Amino acid sequence: MTSPLRLGILGSGKGSNFQVLVEAARSKSCYYEPVMVLSDVADAGILKLAEQFKIPAHFLAPGPFKTKLTEAIEQEMVTYLQAAQVDFVALAGFMRVVKEPLLKAFPGRILNIHPSLLPQFPGLAAWKQACEAHVAETGCTVHLVDEGIDTGKILGQSRVPVFPEDTPEMVHARIQVAEHELYPRIVNEFARTISKSA
Protein backbone atom coordinates (compact mmCIF):
# COMPACT_ATOMS: atom_id res chain seq x y z
CA MET A 1 0.00 0.00 0.00
CA THR A 2 1.24 3.50 -0.87
CA SER A 3 1.35 6.31 1.69
CA PRO A 4 -2.13 7.26 2.92
CA LEU A 5 -3.73 10.34 1.39
CA ARG A 6 -3.73 13.43 3.55
CA LEU A 7 -7.24 14.39 4.71
CA GLY A 8 -8.38 17.81 5.90
CA ILE A 9 -11.56 17.96 7.99
CA LEU A 10 -13.92 20.91 8.45
CA GLY A 11 -16.37 20.86 11.35
CA SER A 12 -18.58 23.10 13.46
CA GLY A 13 -19.81 20.79 16.22
CA LYS A 14 -18.88 18.15 18.76
CA GLY A 15 -16.90 16.08 16.24
CA SER A 16 -18.39 12.59 16.51
CA ASN A 17 -17.91 11.89 12.80
CA PHE A 18 -14.40 13.32 12.99
CA GLN A 19 -13.63 10.93 15.84
CA VAL A 20 -14.71 7.83 13.89
CA LEU A 21 -12.69 9.00 10.88
CA VAL A 22 -9.59 9.30 13.06
CA GLU A 23 -10.17 5.96 14.77
CA ALA A 24 -10.67 4.22 11.42
CA ALA A 25 -7.51 5.83 10.07
CA ARG A 26 -5.49 3.98 12.69
CA SER A 27 -6.31 0.72 10.94
CA LYS A 28 -3.51 -0.78 8.87
CA SER A 29 -5.80 -1.07 5.85
CA CYS A 30 -6.71 2.64 5.78
CA TYR A 31 -5.92 4.75 2.73
CA TYR A 32 -6.21 8.17 4.39
CA GLU A 33 -4.70 10.05 7.30
CA PRO A 34 -6.37 13.07 8.99
CA VAL A 35 -3.75 15.83 9.11
CA MET A 36 -5.68 19.09 9.64
CA VAL A 37 -8.89 20.26 11.33
CA LEU A 38 -10.50 23.65 10.70
CA SER A 39 -13.57 25.00 12.48
CA ASP A 40 -15.72 28.11 12.29
CA VAL A 41 -16.77 27.75 15.97
CA ALA A 42 -14.22 28.78 18.59
CA ASP A 43 -15.37 26.33 21.29
CA ALA A 44 -16.36 23.47 18.98
CA GLY A 45 -15.85 20.00 20.38
CA ILE A 46 -14.05 18.96 17.20
CA LEU A 47 -11.17 21.33 18.10
CA LYS A 48 -10.83 19.76 21.54
CA LEU A 49 -10.88 16.27 20.00
CA ALA A 50 -8.22 17.27 17.48
CA GLU A 51 -6.01 18.39 20.35
CA GLN A 52 -6.53 15.04 22.08
CA PHE A 53 -5.61 13.20 18.88
CA LYS A 54 -2.62 15.53 18.36
CA ILE A 55 -3.89 16.69 14.96
CA PRO A 56 -3.19 20.33 14.04
CA ALA A 57 -6.38 22.39 14.34
CA HIS A 58 -7.37 26.01 13.83
CA PHE A 59 -10.37 28.23 14.46
CA LEU A 60 -11.22 30.73 11.75
CA ALA A 61 -13.70 33.48 12.66
CA PRO A 62 -16.71 32.90 10.41
CA GLY A 63 -17.51 36.51 9.49
CA PRO A 64 -20.91 38.18 9.15
CA PHE A 65 -22.96 35.50 7.36
CA LYS A 66 -24.92 32.71 9.05
CA THR A 67 -24.81 30.07 6.31
CA LYS A 68 -21.56 30.75 4.45
CA LEU A 69 -18.08 32.17 4.90
CA THR A 70 -16.71 35.25 3.20
CA GLU A 71 -14.50 34.54 0.21
CA ALA A 72 -11.47 35.83 2.13
CA ILE A 73 -12.07 33.47 5.07
CA GLU A 74 -12.64 30.52 2.76
CA GLN A 75 -9.42 31.39 0.96
CA GLU A 76 -7.68 31.38 4.34
CA MET A 77 -9.01 27.83 4.87
CA VAL A 78 -7.58 26.85 1.49
CA THR A 79 -4.21 28.29 2.53
CA TYR A 80 -4.18 26.20 5.72
CA LEU A 81 -5.19 23.03 3.86
CA GLN A 82 -2.66 23.51 1.09
CA ALA A 83 0.11 24.25 3.60
CA ALA A 84 -0.73 20.89 5.20
CA GLN A 85 -0.49 19.27 1.74
CA VAL A 86 -4.06 17.99 2.01
CA ASP A 87 -5.16 15.67 -0.82
CA PHE A 88 -8.90 15.79 -0.13
CA VAL A 89 -11.40 17.22 2.36
CA ALA A 90 -14.23 15.80 4.47
CA LEU A 91 -16.96 17.90 6.07
CA ALA A 92 -17.89 16.60 9.51
CA GLY A 93 -20.82 18.61 10.80
CA PHE A 94 -19.64 21.74 8.99
CA MET A 95 -22.61 24.11 9.05
CA ARG A 96 -21.62 26.40 6.20
CA VAL A 97 -22.22 26.21 2.46
CA VAL A 98 -18.90 25.60 0.70
CA LYS A 99 -18.21 28.10 -2.07
CA GLU A 100 -15.73 28.63 -4.90
CA PRO A 101 -12.37 29.04 -3.15
CA LEU A 102 -12.62 25.56 -1.59
CA LEU A 103 -14.42 23.97 -4.55
CA LYS A 104 -11.79 25.33 -6.94
CA ALA A 105 -8.87 24.25 -4.75
CA PHE A 106 -10.21 20.70 -4.29
CA PRO A 107 -12.39 19.96 -7.34
CA GLY A 108 -14.31 16.71 -6.91
CA ARG A 109 -12.40 16.05 -3.69
CA ILE A 110 -14.69 17.41 -0.95
CA LEU A 111 -16.98 14.89 0.77
CA ASN A 112 -19.92 15.47 3.07
CA ILE A 113 -22.25 13.27 5.09
CA HIS A 114 -25.90 14.30 5.25
CA PRO A 115 -28.53 12.83 7.63
CA SER A 116 -31.08 11.71 5.04
CA LEU A 117 -31.39 9.54 1.97
CA LEU A 118 -30.66 12.25 -0.57
CA PRO A 119 -32.23 13.66 -2.66
CA GLN A 120 -34.88 13.47 0.09
CA PHE A 121 -34.71 16.13 2.81
CA PRO A 122 -31.73 18.31 1.87
CA GLY A 123 -30.77 21.20 4.12
CA LEU A 124 -31.00 21.62 7.87
CA ALA A 125 -32.51 19.21 10.44
CA ALA A 126 -33.20 16.46 7.93
CA TRP A 127 -34.28 14.06 10.69
CA LYS A 128 -37.05 16.48 11.67
CA GLN A 129 -38.09 16.72 8.04
CA ALA A 130 -38.28 12.91 7.92
CA CYS A 131 -40.50 12.75 11.02
CA GLU A 132 -42.79 15.48 9.74
CA ALA A 133 -43.14 13.65 6.40
CA HIS A 134 -44.09 10.39 8.22
CA VAL A 135 -41.70 8.31 6.11
CA ALA A 136 -41.07 4.67 7.01
CA GLU A 137 -37.32 4.99 6.59
CA THR A 138 -34.58 7.55 6.30
CA GLY A 139 -30.82 7.31 6.68
CA CYS A 140 -27.62 9.06 5.71
CA THR A 141 -25.76 9.85 2.50
CA VAL A 142 -22.11 10.50 1.70
CA HIS A 143 -21.81 12.72 -1.34
CA LEU A 144 -19.37 14.95 -3.18
CA VAL A 145 -19.81 18.65 -2.49
CA ASP A 146 -20.72 20.93 -5.38
CA GLU A 147 -22.21 24.43 -5.74
CA GLY A 148 -25.67 23.31 -4.58
CA ILE A 149 -27.12 22.36 -1.19
CA ASP A 150 -26.59 18.58 -0.77
CA THR A 151 -26.79 18.06 -4.54
CA GLY A 152 -23.42 16.46 -5.36
CA LYS A 153 -22.77 12.95 -6.64
CA ILE A 154 -23.86 10.27 -4.15
CA LEU A 155 -21.05 7.93 -3.07
CA GLY A 156 -22.90 5.79 -0.53
CA GLN A 157 -26.02 5.53 1.61
CA SER A 158 -27.20 3.72 4.72
CA ARG A 159 -30.86 3.21 5.65
CA VAL A 160 -32.53 3.32 9.05
CA PRO A 161 -36.20 2.75 9.98
CA VAL A 162 -38.51 5.46 11.25
CA PHE A 163 -41.19 4.21 13.66
CA PRO A 164 -44.54 5.93 14.30
CA GLU A 165 -43.68 6.59 17.94
CA ASP A 166 -40.26 8.12 17.14
CA THR A 167 -39.31 11.63 18.16
CA PRO A 168 -36.93 13.61 15.93
CA GLU A 169 -34.21 13.06 18.56
CA MET A 170 -34.67 9.28 18.39
CA VAL A 171 -34.41 9.34 14.61
CA HIS A 172 -31.32 11.54 14.76
CA ALA A 173 -29.60 9.17 17.20
CA ARG A 174 -30.33 6.20 14.94
CA ILE A 175 -28.99 8.07 11.91
CA GLN A 176 -25.78 8.95 13.76
CA VAL A 177 -25.08 5.28 14.46
CA ALA A 178 -25.39 4.63 10.72
CA GLU A 179 -23.21 7.67 9.91
CA HIS A 180 -20.41 6.41 12.11
CA GLU A 181 -20.21 3.18 10.11
CA LEU A 182 -20.80 4.67 6.67
CA TYR A 183 -18.57 7.75 6.63
CA PRO A 184 -15.17 6.18 7.38
CA ARG A 185 -15.93 3.32 5.01
CA ILE A 186 -16.82 5.61 2.09
CA VAL A 187 -13.98 8.05 2.82
CA ASN A 188 -11.56 5.11 2.77
CA GLU A 189 -13.00 3.78 -0.51
CA PHE A 190 -12.73 7.26 -2.02
CA ALA A 191 -9.09 7.57 -0.90
CA ARG A 192 -8.28 4.15 -2.31
CA THR A 193 -9.84 5.12 -5.66
CA ILE A 194 -7.82 8.35 -5.80
CA SER A 195 -4.64 6.47 -4.90
CA LYS A 196 -5.15 4.00 -7.74
CA SER A 197 -5.84 6.74 -10.30
CA ALA A 198 -2.86 8.87 -9.28
Could you tell me which of 111, 105, 183 has the C-alpha nearest to residue 150? Answer: 111
Q: Cα–Cα distance between 65 and 144 in angstroms, integer? A: 23
**114 is annotated as an active-site residue:** yes
Peptide bond into 119 cis (omega under 30): yes
Q: Which of 179, 197, 190 is nearest to 89 (CA)?
A: 190
Catalytic pick from 58, 114, 143, 172?
A: 114
**14 to each of 52, 76, 197, how far by Cα in Å?**
13, 23, 34
Neighbour-count burial for 29-52, b at 16+ CB within 10 Å, e otherwise: ebbbbbbbbbbbbeebbbbebbee
- What are the residue numbers of the active site? 114
